[in-house]
Structure 1
């Protein structure tokens, strides 16, 4: 069995699997190995070294000697890791610091000798393009401006679904600003404003999301989560309203000792000095754009490269459903049964049933696909473990309320819809989502719970039953071949489902 099969359970390989990407950035050097160029690719390995290649480029025009040594040592290790993981395709990218430094070409020669692979030095335009592809990888039908903040530069690009529009690269990287200002943030403010003011199309971002990419901005999101006591620590898809984000950025950059900020101890020591400058850049960009919100992304140029390597039919897939399909195939008893649940629960949301949007339907199907991923856990803890696993899973194409909805739906599938049974984590998660979403999670959890009483988690049973509304009744017709499965527990669970739908339960056994 191949490494890809071990990690993904897909049972297929291509010439690109596993695929490794080394990103030689102005601040960090990172290796990520993916299972392949597929829509919901999972990282097999991820490691970074904060080498700080760009910390003196603005003032000296050269890469720092110590930083070069650290970076090249990291590349030696990364090549060894790629060999052990049997990486078939290793792509190496370098960004602003290497692109602009006088000794950048010398560094590239050394890097290529160590890696045995060519290093592609990205132009600012190419960086922006790959950042946009990264957003397309991580979000469904993205529509807004994306900003990728590195140590040396900031790339901003306008994305509308599958179309890339205006783009620019700006000399506003965190390390560059520290170098230019002598680490005096008050000197950086007019400099940032002057550069941002030169981009005359930023107003196109007004009222649309701003997708924030880069480790420094993710660190800001982490600090905001800590300050607000947010129940999750998942960066991808975390959003903050624009005005709140601006005020938080101002708070961070004005703090005299950023090391004292709650949550800063979880930020890498080498990045802490950069955070206030990243906050300043985000603040001034948001003031200029006036977007609807800031949405943080863990998908950047590495994932963008992966996306660019996919065939169009793979790019067009729904990232959330693709992930859930793969996860169900790997972790559930039956992917076929999970798909049957999608169809079986369709009947609850047609005709006189609760109304749902296309997004509601998409999330319901995702919940059905994930509903059995905790089956190997001890029965007493399946609900709690499923809640934690799904709430923190590597989901993409979904916002945080959607993520929490999925976690709650599968939680209720195991523990029932009784709020009195809720643990502290589920109670905290419920505070983040609407009452409507909570009600839908209970309905879907109850439906899956009832279905499992008939199917025992196996395919080919519930797809032979009929589920429909008849006046004030919710009717389940069980075919003759499965009438022996009728019993107290099935009727009790079906009654819970019917009550949540404000109907009377009616189970009919075919004769």
Structure 2
């Protein structure tokens, strides 16, 4: 028997989802059903099943042959990974083609399971669930652009509003326009006139879902030199992106900066994705465009959770899981959450609900780099956190999480390795990250990174105007030069007079 690696959560049962789209077919094997799912294995093929469906009414025969062969591999990979369940969903091309039922029947025989062919309404529903699961909270219009169709649906918190499915997928537009992005734009404009729900999105976010839009955002990242190579929650400003989208929609992409970072198989559909996005912007007038890495597949996975699990905070659950896997003590991490909250209150620092969430997550992540060489713990932790597959956090929030951990290891006034992230975070987040890092630098030297002592530490206001960090008498041996030095750094950062004291004794250190 092969022992399971400790790098995986022990209570998870792997499952697989195969998503049969009009352009791509993807197998994703998940560690288990979870609020913030972790991918064990991910593979896709660009089959192009929906290519030519407008003129022939059938799935592309060569694509069918390739897909059927690939299903054998997908089934074998799912079994090899130990997946206990295999779910298969199919979307626009499979439900619309006259030879779709025959294709599905052949695929079911190979995969050994029933394939769920989603209706347009179901596809929109699961796409909306994917967006709801990935943002905290979602509020706007979700648009899922596939190869065969575009699903638009209103999302607000956990509520799913009006939705519509339109025949505006990238492959379909390419066929309908006879490879003319200009003609495609006119087709899109006419079809979007039926999407009255877009008017309700004015001034709200448009969530862009689907591979074509993700690659469009990737090109925008490459062209602008964006410092964080994370797709989920990437924000594209309306005015700043207008000329970019118009250039792509004209098909003028071969010499664009960063185009080499986009797969050649994906480039052909970029102009159609840009054309659709431009028309949506014109009809909806959103506040901005936010990219979602989660869509129908993740929405389907989210639907398998209990209502209680669906209500969990995805960022906090993912951070706690990482603490379980990598920290010396997850109990110590939870103690940090409580103590830092009390510390901010003692310093008179107020938090918004979002800032409290991010501080909570940062505390859970504060010790994930302890196995690295001491001189590299800060930069390693920064890179792990900044590029982790977190959901429920925007990019400035990611920068805060990474910077708090960086300052905790590297010092409060070190910038070199973190300059790109400090530029991405807001000035307020940088200030908060330094303060949190300073608090962590003090308390880690009093706890030896183990639980038990942190709940016994407290802040006391003194008559001389100082704020004292009081160590219980039972742990008096923990005082010394090192924590005193760290407190001096915190005093310098905050401009406060701080004291380190043992309960029942005079202050042993004062700093300002």
Fold shared by both chains (TM-score > 0.5): yes
Aligned to 1:244: 240
Preserved contact between residue 4 and residue 35 of structure 1 (Cα < 8 Å): no
Verify: 1:445 aligned to 2:440, yes or no: no
Aligned to 2:467: 474
Verify: 1:47 aligned to 2:43, yes or no: yes
Aligned to 1:38: 34
1:57-456 matches, cutoff 5 A = 57-256=53-252, 258-350=253-345, 352-419=347-414, 421-423=415-417, 426-456=418-448
Preserved contact between residue 146 and residue 158 of structure 1 (Cα < 8 Å): yes
| CA spacing shift, 1:3–1:431, aligned 2, 3 Å | farther
Preserved contact between residue 386 and residue 398 of structure 2 (Cα < 8 Å): yes
Q: CA deviation at 1:288?
A: 0.7
Q: Does 497-506 or 384-393 show the bigger shift? A: 497-506
Q: CA deviation at 1:103?
A: 0.7
Matches of 1:358 and 1:508, distance apart in 2: 32
Q: CA deviation at 1:6?
A: 4.7
Matches of 1:434 and 1:327, distance apart in 2: 25
Matches of 1:108 and 1:5, distance apart in 2: 37
Q: CA deviation at 1:197?
A: 1.2
Preserved contact between residue 140 and residue 397 of structure 1 (Cα < 8 Å): yes
Aligned with 2:489 (options 485, 491, 496): 496
Matches of 1:242 and 1:501, distance apart in 2: 38
Matches of 1:234 and 1:65, distance apart in 2: 36
Aligned to 1:459: 451
Aligned to 2:508: none
Aligned-pair Cα RMSD in Å: 1.6
Aligned to 1:8: 8
Preserved contact between residue 27 and residue 44 of structure 2 (Cα < 8 Å): yes
Q: What secondary structure is seen at the aligned counterpart in 2 of 1:503?
A: coil
Q: What secondary structure is seen at the aligned counterpart in 1 of 2:268?
A: helix
Preserved contact between residue 325 and residue 369 of structure 1 (Cα < 8 Å): yes
Q: CA deviation at 1:210?
A: 0.8
Preserved contact between residue 163 and residue 197 of structure 2 (Cα < 8 Å): no
Matches of 1:347 and 1:275, distance apart in 2: 50
Preserved contact between residue 473 and residue 506 of structure 1 (Cα < 8 Å): yes
Matches of 1:124 and 1:3, distance apart in 2: 44
| CA spacing shift, 1:399–1:468, aligned 2, 3 Å | farther
Preserved contact between residue 4 and residue 36 of structure 1 (Cα < 8 Å): no
Give a deviation string over 1:100-146, Cα, whole Å, max 9, x none. 11110111011001100111111111000000110111111211110
Give a deviation string over 1:191-235, Cα, whole Å, max 9, x none. 110001121221100111111100110001111111111101100
Give a deviation string over 1:41-99, Cα, whole Å, max 9, x none. 10111110000111111111111111111211221110000111121111101111111
Aligned to 1:487: 480
Preserved contact between residue 51 and residue 171 of structure 2 (Cα < 8 Å): yes
Q: CA deviation at 1:264?
A: 2.1
Q: CA deviation at 1:7?
A: 4.9
Matches of 1:474 and 1:392, distance apart in 2: 37
Q: What secondary structure is seen at the aligned counterpart in 2 of 1:259?
A: coil
Q: CA deviation at 1:496?
A: 1.4
| CA spacing shift, 1:88–1:7, aligned 2, 3 Å | farther
Preserved contact between residue 181 and residue 251 of structure 2 (Cα < 8 Å): no
Q: CA deviation at 1:266?
A: 2.1
Preserved contact between residue 141 and residue 161 of structure 1 (Cα < 8 Å): yes
| CA spacing shift, 1:6–1:487, aligned 2, 3 Å | closer
| CA spacing shift, 1:195–1:217, aligned 2, 3 Å | same
Q: What secondary structure is seen at the aligned counterpart in 2 of 1:431?
A: helix
Gaps of 5+ in 1: none
**What TM-score, normalized to structure 2?**
0.95
Q: What secondary structure is seen at the aligned counterpart in 1 of 2:196?
A: coil
| CA spacing shift, 1:152–1:476, aligned 2, 3 Å | same
| CA spacing shift, 1:468–1:295, aligned 2, 3 Å | farther
Q: CA deviation at 1:504?
A: 1.1
